[in-house]
A and B are shown apart, each in its own frame.
Chain A
Amino acid sequence: IAGITQAPTSQILAAGRRMTLRCTQDMRHNAMYWYRQDLGLGLRLIHYSNTAGTTGKGEVPDGYSVSRANTDDFPLTLASAVPSQTSVYFCASSPYGTKGSTATNEKLFFGSGTQLSVL
């Protein structure tokens, strides 16, 4: 089934450790996004990528980094985790700019999320 795969599903991490959340899509979408979801704050954009080879900062990029070496993969790295990074992380993609896409407001496709706890 086509879609977005996130791994791991959940993780408990000691503060100060490095962690990479994986995200892979098989829809050949150009745009990909990382959001964190926190109670009372909704979804906040961490980083995004409009196409392979490019990335940009969202609302809350500090403490996170991303890379986009190819179309399918968009990993999110926490270089040195802190407790305030405890959250549910969602990866998403959109066909914006994909060859053959004519819509000006394509929807986002979401993964099932990664629950991360930093102790």
Chain B
Amino acid sequence: GNSVTQMEGPVTLSEEAFLTINCTYTATGYPSLFWYVQYPGEGLQLLLKATKADDKGSNKGFEATYRKETTSFHLEKGSVQVSDSAVYFCALEKGGTGTYKYIFGTGTRLKVLA
């Protein structure tokens, strides 16, 4: 079946450090891939997405590239800020026959220290 695997957290970084959060997926066909972010006390928000191989999603300095050959969608940011502290979820969507379901990873907590 479809699944998403993310690196376990928490990840603790100093401000301005480089961030990578790994995400790999298992799916038949060509799913769409997403990164969602959850700030404390809030629901999830879409951070970025990619719909086909080699697409790069980007938003707020975060980037992720859809790599079909390695079935990966790693999240990166060149210089993190304290305000980036949150939980990050990788997800895929593999619709079919009118059923649209998202599969989420377990989430990775990021803590950025000033």
Contacts and interface: CB of A to CB of B under 8 A. Distances in A.
B34 A107 contact: yes
Given A43-B89, A108-B44, A48 B101 contact: yes
Interface residues of B, number: 23
A4 B42 CA distance: 12
A110 interface: yes
Contacts of A84: none
A12 B86 CA distance: 26
Interface of B: 32, 34, 36, 41-46, 49, 51, 89, 93, 95, 98-102, 104-107
A112 B49 contact: no
Interface size class, chain A: 20 to 34
Interface stretch (A60-68, A70-78, A89-97): A89-97
A43 B104 contact: yes
Contacts, number: 57
Given A50-B98, A96-B95, A107 B49 contact: yes
B106 A105 contact: no
Given A31-B100, A105-B51, A111-B43, A42 B89 contact: yes
Nearest to B34: A107
Nearest to A6: B43
Contact of B99 (A35, A50, A111): A50
B43 A112 contact: yes
B42 to A, nearest CB: 6
Given A42-B89, A104-B95, A110 B104 contact: no
A1 interface: no
A44 B106 CA distance: 9
A1 B52 CA distance: 32
A45 B3 CA distance: 13
Nearest to B102: A108
A92 B106 CA distance: 17
Contacts of A50: 98-100
Given A42-B89, A112-B43, A94 B104 contact: no
